[in-house]
Amino acid sequence: MTDLRRSGPSAVRTRRWRVPSGFLSGVAVGVVLGVVATVGWYAATREEPLEPGELVILSGKDTSPGGQREELVKLWNELHPQSPARIQPAPITTDQQHSEMAAVARAQAERAGQPGWDPDDDVDIYNLDVTFTAEFADAGYLRPIDESRLGGGHLDAFVPEVLDGCRYRGSLWALPFNTDAGLLFYRSDLLGAAGSERRDFDWDAVIAHSRDLAGAGRGGQAPVAGYVGQFGPYEGLTVNGMELIWSAGVDRLVDETENRVLFQRERWERRLRQVAAARRGGLLVGDAFAVPGDEGRSLRDFQEGRALFMRNWPVNYRALTAQEGEAASSVPFEVTRLPGPSALGGQNLAIARHTAQPRAAQALIEFLTRKEAQRKLFTLGGFAPTRADVYADPLLREQFPYLALLEEAVREARVRPRVPHYFEFSRVFREGVRSALEGDGRLPENFETQLNQALRGD
């Protein structure tokens, strides 16, 4: 791993930074021209024409500034008027997306081949959360990516750890649209500026600083507590719980080949006991388990000065570095790595099994995952890139100093278990973690049995 502390100030500075408006407009123009040139070459070298007709992408709502996913789809439509695409929005939260997408996929599978069935009325592409991919592949809802049609080293350009999340049982079922890795944001006014050195914190340091500074304040407004994460009753608690356990030196949680949990009670509970004690001492913001207890609430608590530390996704960096005309952050901050590995997040683009336009669907997926598209999603939308060549771009590294940190976090992130019944496993897992953190850090006595039953779908 690269030692960023010896890579020079431009590689390690992670202080608040505002994107120059001229730079953004230049990037936007360069992105559009680059995408046009790339797709022109791509279409010209394709041996078979794309099937005509509308392509429907079922995706969580695009909440990026300016709707950058929608903008890329508009560009595709200008270039491919015979195979236009549209995004059909699904709910924002991961749990709600899963329910709706699974219901749509089941309905399509049941209709396929029946009298009167018209595949043109169905979804062609799923923009799946990374945790959905194995389940949808195992259920027969997806068509594998045709790797023989991928040219120009397309697969080789992806960060290997990110692309690995698109594979299940030896087949490639999707391409990564965007990725995610949690970062630790902290109040630089209270904890000190990083200078030319990036500050990293383990859990002992997070808790110690929280204990020392939770009563300190700025402008007469004191933070209520030291640390805020995502502890509401949804997938965010699963992510935060796994990250706590991994930070205690635990490697794998599940043997994916044998589909069984690798439960080590003492090691799993080590960090949970520590954080549960910190919660009892008031070092988590407010009622950490209240609804929604999600990324938005964490961001508000941090912005409004009610937390010293915040665990959140990198897209929130933009919200904290507001441009002119946008709501500015009320707290100065820096960003660093989590006190342990992050759970790998993001979305994967997959082809619906019963689409009538498989070539067009794959071509659109390739378009949305090319370098130029990934640059646009990152620079204007804040989405973490999936491609190594975007992280290596010297212009982007100069203009976005936290990009090197983000790449490090992504490469060290861990994939949540790729199992067919992941969502039932996740529900049982987070209920056990919630019980431990609300109590003394001990997991339920029959926790291993409960998790194994969930993995089997019992």
At residue 48, φ and ψ (nearest 5 deg) are: -110, 145
Tell me: pLDDT of 362 over 80.
yes
CB 24 within 8 A of CB 380: yes
Taking residue 227's Cβ as centre, other Cβ atoms within 10 Å add up to: 28
Give residue 196's pLDDT: 47
- Alpha helices by DSSP H, listed for 123-215, are 133-138, 160-164, 188-191, 203-213
CB 90 within 8 A of CB 59: yes
Alpha carbon distance 226, 435 (integer Å)? 21
Give residue 33's pLDDT: 44
Confidence of residue 152 (pLDDT cuts 50, 70, 90): low
Q: Determine what percent of the chain is predicted with pLDDT higher than 70.
A: 83
Evaluate whether 13-181+347-412 and 183-344+418-456 have a shared fold.
yes
> Picking from 218-222, 281-285, 416-420, which range would have the lowest pLDDT averaged per residue?
218-222
DSSP-assigned states of every residue in 314-330? TTHHHHHSPPTTSPPPS
Q: Where are the domains of the chain?
A: 13-181+347-412, 183-344+418-456
What lies within 8 Å, CB to CB, of 166 at 6+ separation is 133, 145, 172, 173, 174, 175, 176, 348
Alpha carbon distance 296, 291 (integer Å)? 11
Residue type, 193: A
Q: Can you tell me which residue has the tokens 């992670």?
A: 14
Tell me: pLDDT of 224 over 80.
no
Which run of H or of E encompasses 292? none
Alpha carbon distance 101, 91 (integer Å)? 10
Confidence of residue 216 (pLDDT cuts 50, 70, 90): low
DSSP-assigned states of every residue in 42-63? HHHH-SSPPPPS-EEEEEE---
As given in the structure block, the two tokens for residue 309 are 């530390």
Confidence of residue 228 (pLDDT cuts 50, 70, 90): very high
Give residue 123's pLDDT: 96
Which run of H or of E encompasses 244? helix 235-246
Residue type, 356: A
As given in the structure block, the two tokens for residue 2 are 């690269």
Q: Please state the rounded mean pLDDT for residues 118-129.
A: 88
Give residue 11's pLDDT: 34
Mean of all residue pLDDT scores within the chain: 85
At residue 125, φ and ψ (nearest 5 deg) are: -135, 135
Alpha carbon distance 346, 386 (integer Å)? 9
Give residue 221's pLDDT: 58
Which run of H or of E encompasses 105? helix 94-111
> Picking from 59-73, 188-202, 238-252, which range would have the lowest pLDDT averaged per residue?
188-202
Comparing 372 with 2, the larger pLDDT belongs to: 372
Alpha carbon distance 156, 414 (integer Å)? 20
CB 189 within 8 A of CB 178: no
Alpha carbon distance 433, 248 (integer Å)? 14
Confidence of residue 193 (pLDDT cuts 50, 70, 90): low
For the domain made up of 13-181+347-412, give the CATH fold. D-Maltodextrin-Binding Protein; domain 2 (3.40.190)
Alpha carbon distance 458, 454 (integer Å)? 6
pTM score, whole prediction: 0.85
Residue 155 is classified by DSSP as G
Give residue 318's pLDDT: 81
Give residue 215's pLDDT: 66
Alpha carbon distance 246, 339 (integer Å)? 10
Tell me: pLDDT of 7 over 60.
no
Tell me: pLDDT of 54 over 80.
yes
Q: Please state the rounded mean pLDDT for residues 102-112.
A: 91
Taking residue 66's Cβ as centre, other Cβ atoms within 10 Å add up to: 12
User: Cα angle at 183 between 181 and 187, to 5 degrees?
Assistant: 165
Confidence of residue 442 (pLDDT cuts 50, 70, 90): very high
Tell me: pLDDT of 237 over 70.
yes
CATH H superfamily, domain 183-344+418-456: Periplasmic binding protein-like II (3.40.190.10)
Comparing 161 with 288, the larger pLDDT belongs to: 161
Give residue 458's pLDDT: 87
Query: Assign residue 398 a region: left if phi > 0, alpha if psi is -120 to 50, beta otherwise?
Result: alpha
Confidence of residue 222 (pLDDT cuts 50, 70, 90): low
